[in-house]
Amino acid sequence: NAGVTQTPKFQVLKTGQSMTLQCAQDMNHEYMSWYRQDPGMGLRLIHYSVGAGITDQGEVPNGYNVSRSTTEDFPLRLLSAAPSQTSVYFCASSYSADRGYTFGSGTRLTVV
Amino acid sequence: ELKVEQNPLFLSMQEGKNYTIYCNYSTTSDRLYWYRQDPGKSLESLFVLLSNGAVKQEGRLMASLDTKARLSTLHITAAVHDLSATYFCVNQFYFGTGTSLTVIP
């Protein structure tokens, strides 16, 4: 099992550009989520999904879109990048809410 | 209003000593998770606590949950350098700000 795979690992964007952060898991997990980690603020939930075709907003969803067309993939789209979106992004998946999440290795995004 | 409050935020302790990290939460969910993160790395799941009085132990770490007090603790016994990391408690999907632990020889 590869676990949770995130690509790219690093990305620099210009303000106003759009991009998609990829997340794939091969553990047949129903639950998937996206977090951003900023210094001194812990991790904050952006969007989450409890199964294919089902997504919902987390704490900080503005400026981000997600979709879940398959169990394996949960891409995060930045619509129009802003410097405030400079952060480390983690994707995570779990079999259920009663299990711990498996985290990907993260994507370090810088918006200039 | 912080949903999950951890303290201390920073902890420097000597090898061989014991210490406890505290996590207070305010949501109505009583699922509590503990994660470890090494600098520049991803997060590793340590414990999942689902019911009042739950206690889980792994090596020198022991986690407990008191749902009536909405309090979880992570107890470190006889700390070793390898435990140096940041520890997060998570309630529902809300993360605490983390406790940065440094174990000094």
pLDDT along chain B (105 residues), means of 10: 89 96 91 95 96 94 96 97 97 93 95
Residues of B whose CB is below 8 A from A92: 43
Q: Is B59 helix (H, G, I), strand (E, B) or coil?
A: coil
Q: Which residue's structure tokens are 């207070």?
A: B24
| C-alpha to C-alpha distance for A52 and B1, rounded to whole angstroms | 32
Q: How far is A58 from chain B (nearest CA, A)?
A: 9
Residues A40-91 pLDDT 10s: 778 999 999 999 999 999 999 999 999 999 999 999 999 999 999 999 999 9
By Cβ distance, the residue of B35, B44, B48 closest to A98 is: B48
By Cβ distance, the residue of A33, A41, A97 closest to B97 is: A41
Q: Are strands B71-76 and B61-66 parallel, antiparallel or unpaired?
A: antiparallel
Question: Over the range A40-72, which residues count as b (16 or more CB within 10 Å of their CB) and which as e?
Answer: eebbbbbbbbbebeebeebebbeebebbbeebb
Please enumerate in sequence order all residues whose Cβ is within 8 A of that of B40, keeping only pairs 6 or more positions apart, or say none. none
